[in-house]
Amino acid sequence: MTATAVPPRERGITLHAVTKSFGGNHVLRGVTADLPADRIYGLLGANGVGKTTLMALICGHTFRSGGQILIDGEDPVENAAVLRRTCFVHEDQRYNDNFTVAQVLAPGPAYFPNWSAETAERLARRFRLPPKTASKKLSRGQRSALAITISLASRAPYTFLDEPYLGLDASARSILYDEVLTEYVAHPRTIVLSTHLIDEAADLMEDVLILEDGVVAVHAEVDLARRESFIVRGPQEQVRALIGAREVLTERHLGNLLTATVRGQASDADRALAHQTRLALEPATLQEFVAAIGVRSHDRSDIA
Amino acid sequence: MDQPVTALTYVRPNLRLYLANRSWALYTPIYILIGMTILSVLVGALIGIVTGFPLPEGDTVAMRYNAGAVYSIPGFLFSVGVLAMNRNFSMALAFGSTRRNFWFGSALGFMLTSLLVGVGSLIFLGLEFATNHWFINARAFDVDALGNGDPWLTFASMFVLSLVSLFAGAFFGTIFRAFGTVWTVVAAIVISVLTIALVAVLVWQWDAISDRLVGLGDWLSIIITLVLAILAAAGSYGVNRLATV
């Protein structure tokens, strides 16, 4: 597949018509997005929609089938100067079985010119990472903590966090969000964060990219994305009357009651009508919006 | 002030990664050689219970064919090669390396390990001579397989043996990483068939080439091992360029 070159952004990530297929499985079908540097992006979408694959493509961990990817105006594939600015520890990252936690962290300063030993030490302490424990003996939560420690201590200008909360309890997740914010404020950089705990992490994000069916369904500032949908609930006929011709993302039925997640912003007229007809109308949270897109995607694939 | 960026700037971190666990990458091969030496001396001591000490020349001649040094090292170093190219690979990419720089950094590490094994063997050979073959006329390094006490042959034999073990492990580890189990097995079968075919050609053409090969003397096996190491290195480099995480 050929892709027309897009004007490279001096600092940031440019994706143009990026595709990736595994045999007959077309995971990414033409991802186009422009990500200016030094922002925190939430990469959202249902399981299997291609979030990890997209991050792996950007960092050259795997090869794209088509399209164009640029970091700071250069193709990252096997580009040492560009890749040196990236850090992407996979959610299921494999480490050398013979390495302890301390040995996994030891090469960090050699790879990353801005590596912060102080950050690594602080995070290891806060997450209670046992330095002498072999990497293969770490629990799921400890593996996530190690990935977060490497990612934040790297101070890589392009840092990718792939579902970093897996296995972490509520307090450890608080530490994660706190540390991401602290590091970002002190040392601004581009952070791409894939997550399913959307509402929990939404306050961190500045922009969101929502993937659906292998393309970017929504790319917006987080506050705008939060206003991308609303939920209306009540008797079916009245709900349909309020929705009109607008796009319905999901519907749930309980007898004659209908709960619909509707794309778009509820107007004052909608609210007045809802009040009159005793319908419940409320803004959808970002999590509900992303979930609705995911359900729509599943329904489409079931029909197909 | 930023340091100037050279090719080594990108290769060095990968060498550092290889050496992150020095016990695994550097010291264990030496421990294995120490263990092999102790075992060889113990075997000599067992023989000596019957023959008396120091071991008489007849038994010493038998110990001259002790190939413990040759057999003890490859298995472990093969596993080092596999893990280095497999697990370290995904770590290196996570840390922002290219495949090319990862390979060169690891290859430098392999050279270092091999050098250490070669030098270590040389030191053990010196100790063997200094102690009049471990005080009982037992042999671990002054043996037929390592050139009968020739220091150059001992060093070169152990160096290339280590190198071929590491790069063979790297080759199969990379194939496993890039293409999975099935292709790793296919590669092993193909290489086995090619090796048998090569041996068949050598046997078939032995009269024509034997003079030249035999003329190389003890260096023949070293040269063959070195060629295999180079082939394995080239193969692992080629496949590594296609590997993904």
B2 pLDDT band, cuts 50/70/90, is low
CB within 8 Å: A98 and B96: no
CB within 8 Å: A89 and B96: no
Q: Which of A5-19, A66-80, A188-202 has the lowest mean pLDDT?
A: A5-19
Please give the residue that has the higher pLDDT: either A68 or B177.
A68
Residue B38 · residue B119 · CB < 8 Å: no
Q: Give how far A154 is from chain B: nearest CA, Å.
A: 8
- The label of the residue with tokens 């540097």 reads A37
Pick A84's closest partner by Cβ from B2, B96, B99: B96
| A257 membership: H or E segment, kind and range | strand A257-263
Domain-wise residue ranges, chain A: 12-224, 227-303
A302 pLDDT band, cuts 50/70/90, is low
Q: Quote the mean pLDDT of chain A.
A: 92
pLDDT of residue B77: 97
Asked whether the predicted pLDDT for residue B207 surpasses 90, the reply is: no
Instruction: Annotate chain B with three-state secondary structure.
Output: CCCCCCHHHHHHHHHHHHCCCHHHHHHHHHHHHHHHHHHHHHHHHHHHHHHCCCCCHHHHHHHCCCCHHHHHCHHHHHHHHHHHHHHHHHHHHHCCCCHHHHHHHHHHHHHHHHHHHHHHHHHHHHHHHHCCHHHHHCCCCCCHHHCCCCHHHHHHHHHHHHHHHHHHHHHHHHHHHHHCHHHHHHHHHHHHHHHHHHHHHHHHCHHHHHHHHHHCCCHHHHHHHHHHHHHHHHHHHHHHCCCCC
Asked whether the predicted pLDDT for residue A3 surpasses 70, the reply is: no
Asked whether the predicted pLDDT for residue A10 surpasses 90, the reply is: no
Give the separation between CA A88 and CA B219, rounded to whole angstroms. 47
pLDDT of residue A303: 61
pLDDT, tens digit, 9 for 90 and up, residues A14-65: 999 999 999 889 999 999 999 999 999 999 999 999 999 999 999 999 999 9
Assess A133–B contact: CB distance below 8 Å, yes or no: no
Give the separation between CA A259 and CA A108, rounded to whole angstroms. 50
Residues of chain A above pLDDT 90, percent: 87
pLDDT of residue B3: 67
Q: Measure the CA angle with vertex B240, ends B116 and B85; round to 5°.
A: 40
Asked whether the predicted pLDDT for residue A206 surpasses 80, the reply is: yes
Domain-wise residue ranges, chain B: 7-240
pLDDT of residue A237: 94
Q: Which of A185, A142, A228 is nearest to A38 (CA)?
A: A185
Assess A177–B contact: CB distance below 8 Å, yes or no: no
pLDDT of residue A152: 97
Q: Please name the residue of chain A whose CA is at the shortest distance from the CA of residue B23.
A: A98
Q: Which fold has domain A227-303?
A: Alpha-Beta Plaits (3.30.70)
Q: Please name the residue of chain A whose CA is at the shortest distance from the CA of residue B91.
A: A95
A87 pLDDT band, cuts 50/70/90, is very high
Which residues of chain A neighbour B20 with C-beta distances below 8 Å? 96, 99, 103-104, 106-107
pLDDT, tens digit, 9 for 90 and up, residues A223-282: 999 888 999 999 999 999 999 999 999 999 999 999 999 999 999 999 999 999 999 999
| Residue B176 main-chain phi, psi, to 5 deg | -60, -45
Q: Which of A157, A154, A128, A122 is nearest to A141 (CA)?
A: A128
Give the separation between CA B34 and CA A100, rounded to whole angstroms. 25
Contacts of A285 (CB under 8 A, 6+ apart): A198, A199, A202, A226
pLDDT of residue B233: 96
Question: Looking at the domain that runs over A12-224, which CATH code has it been given?
Answer: 3.40.50.300
Give the separation between CA A83 and CA A104, rounded to whole angstroms. 19
Please give the residue that has the higher pLDDT: either A97 or A127.
A127
Which residues of chain B neighbour A111 with C-beta distances below 8 Å? 13, 17, 95-97
Q: Give how far A84 is from chain B: nearest CA, Å.
A: 5
**Coil/strand/helix, residue A240:** helix
pLDDT of residue A4: 46
Asked whether the predicted pLDDT for residue A300 surpasses 80, the reply is: no
> Environment class of residue A47 by beta-carbon count within 10 Å: exposed (0-12), middle (13-18) or buried (19+)?
exposed
Looking only at the bridges linking them, the beta strands covering A158-162 and A190-194 are parallel
